[in-house]
Amino acid sequence: MSGTGQPVLEARGVVMRFGGLTALSGFDLTLHSGELVGLIGPNGAGKTTAFNALTGVYAPTEGDVEVAGRRVNGMRPHQICELGVARTFQNVRLFKELSAFDNVRIACHAGSRSGFTSAWMLTPTHDAEERRIAARAEEFLSVMELSPRRDELARNLPYGEQRRLEIARALATGPKVLCLDEPAAGMNASEKVALLELIRRVRDQFQLAILVIEHDMRLVMGVSERMLVLDHGVTIAQGAPEAVRQDPKVIEAYLGDGKLRLRPPREAGTGVP
């Protein structure tokens, strides 16, 4: 059940400073298995910075991050990934010259038990492990509705399918927590709705905790049980979507002086190293 037991991810008082700029301040987050939380806020609000601090891209300037009760401050991204936190990036990151299947297969290797010696000797253990990994890769392609595109080079996939392939790769590392940075960016409205519904089904199937950044507040409200709103690095509201939407601070952050501060969909973003 969500909301009880030990959190899978917890951030307490996380601060990220870049020189004189405080990109994130006093960031608190508690995530339990099975929760889908929307992280929203205008451009430059600190959303990607929060992901970077949670996943080890940056060590927090202050505060603590814990994964299943274990403090991970200062750990490398691959170590935090091994503990069960996977992410996608605002800009698609794939092995563009490899097939969809190989992209996922490589990610599956992160959780593989097959060691270097068995790989080198091509032992029966290694063969069995390779078959197990291939089957898992097929499964994650299927979950993300990419099986028909299995042998296509990643660079030839339409943008929306590249985004789904990134999520398949993240799932292949066997996470407990999945952090998705604008997974629906650059998609049209109906593609966005379909993707967010798919993300919700993935959450249900794997009982993951999912933290999803999305600019369109109405869209993410439809699939999240809880929302967290950042503005200028500060959490200005959090809670049930409907209450958050009506919060005067959120309306102000989104509308400011009457002009929409949201940008049109784009591929590139700030804060991605």
Rule CB under 6 A: which residues touch ligand ATP? 18, 21, 23, 41, 43-49, 90, 269-271
Q: Hunting for tokens 């292949």 — which residue is that?
A: 172
- 192 CB-side CA count, 13 A: 20
**Residue nearest Mg ion (C-beta atom):** 48
Name the residues that contact Mg ion, by CB under 5 A: 47-48, 90, 269
Cα separation, 13 vs 188, in Å, equals 36
- Backbone dihedral angles phi then psi of residue 126, each to the nearest 5 degrees: -65, -45
Q: How far is the CB of 258 from ligand ATP (least distance, A)?
A: 20
Tell me the closest approach of the beta carbon of residue 202 to ligand ATP, in angstroms. 22
Q: How far is the CB of 240 from ligand ATP (least distance, A)?
A: 22
Beta carbon nearer to ligand ATP, 144 or 217: 217
The span from the first CA to the last CA of the chain, in angstroms, equals 35
What is d(CA 191, CA 180) in angstroms, rounded to the nearest whole number? 16
Measure the CA–CA gap between 125 and 17, rounded to whole angstroms.
47
Alpha carbon 228 to its chain centroid, in Å, reads 15
**If contact means CB under 5 to 8 A according to the sort of partner, which of ligand ATP, Mg ion, none does residue 176 touch?**
none
Q: Which is nearer to ligand ATP, 47 or 192 (CB)?
A: 47
Residue nearest to ligand ATP (CB): 271
Q: Residue 16: what are its φ and ψ, rounded to 5°?
A: -125, 115
Minimum distance of ligand ATP from residue 23's CB (angstroms): 3
Nearer to Mg ion, 42 or 241 (CB): 42
Q: In whole angstroms, how close is the CB of 181 to Mg ion at the nearest point?
A: 6
Report what 192 binds from Mg ion, ligand ATP, none; CB cut-off 5-8 Å by kind: none
Contact assessment for residue 188 and residue 154, using Cβ atoms and an 8 Å cutoff: no
**What would you report as the CA-atom Rg of the chain, rounded to the nearest whole angstrom?**
19
Contact of residue 21 among ligand ATP, Mg ion, none (CB under 5-8 Å per partner type): ligand ATP
Instruction: Specify the length of the chain in residues.
Output: 273
**Nearest distance in Å: CB 270, ligand ATP:** 4
Per-residue tokens: 95:
């092995």
Q: What is the largest CA-CA distance in the chain?
A: 67
Of ligand ATP, Mg ion, none, which one sits near residue 49, judging by CB under 5 to 8 A according to partner kind? ligand ATP
In the bound state with ligand ATP, the residue whose beta carbon lies nearer, of 63 and 269, is 269
Which of 1/268 has CB closer to ligand ATP? 268
